[in-house]
Amino acid sequence: MAVVASPPAEGLGAWLDQVVAEDSLELLPQLPAESIDTVFWDPPYFLQIPPAKGRRLKRWKVQTEVVGVQDTWDQFGSFAEYDAFIQSNLEELRRVLKPEGTLWVIGTYHNIHRVGRLLQDLGFWILNDVVWVKSNPMPNWLGVRFTNAVETLIWAVREKEAKGYYFDRKLAQAYGGSSTAPSVWYLPICTGKERLKTAEGKKLHSTQKPEALLERVIGISVPPGGVILDPMAGTGTTGAVAKRLGRHFILIEKEPAYVEAARQRIAKVQTDLFTK
Ligand SMILES: C[S@@+](CC[C@H](N)C(=O)[O-])C[C@H]1O[C@@H](n2cnc3c(N)ncnc32)[C@H](O)[C@@H]1O
Average pLDDT on 155-172 reads 96
**So what's the pLDDT on residue 244?**
97
Atom of ligand 1 nearest to the CA of 23: 20
In this structure, are strands 150-157 and 248-253 parallel, antiparallel, or unpaired? unpaired
Residue 265 near ligand 1, beta carbon < 6 Å = no
Q: DSSP letter at 251?
A: E
CA of 61 to the centre of ligand 1 (A): 31
pLDDT digits (tens, 9 = 90+) for 75-100: 999 999 999 999 999 999 999 999 99
Class of domain 13-275: alpha beta
Question: HEC profile for 217-248?
Answer: HHHHHCCCCCEEEECCCCCCHHHHHHHHCCCE
Q: What does the alpha-carbon distance between residue 131 and residue 182 come to, in Å, rounded to a whole number?
A: 10
In the predicted structure, residue 59 carries a pLDDT above the cut 60: no
- Give the pLDDT of residue 184: 96
Cα dist. 50→54, 55, 57 in Å? 12, 12, 14
pLDDT band at 264; cut points 50, 70, 90: very high
Across the range 184-213, mean pLDDT stands at 96
Judged against a pLDDT cut of 70, whether residue 3 lies above it is answered with no
152 lines ligand 1 (CB under 6 A): no
* 46 — pLDDT class (breaks 50, 70, 90): very high
Q: Is ligand 1 within 6 A of the CB of residue 252?
A: yes
pLDDT at 80: 97
Percentage of the chain exceeding pLDDT 70: 87
| Inter-CA distances, 208 with 31, 83, 148, 197, 203, Å | 26, 23, 17, 11, 9
Mean pLDDT to the nearest integer, 105-119: 97
**Average pLDDT of the residues in 208-231:** 97
Ligand 1 pocket: which of 31, 41, 74, 254 to mutate (most atoms within 8 A of CB): 254
Residues 234, 257 contacting (CB under 8 angstroms)? no
- Tell me if residue 261 falls in helix, strand or coil: helix
pLDDT digit string, tens, across residues 133-155: 998 888 776 678 888 999 999 99
pLDDT at 116 over 70: yes
Averaged over 213-227, what is the pLDDT? 97
Q: Are 47 and 68 in contact (CB under 8 A)?
A: yes
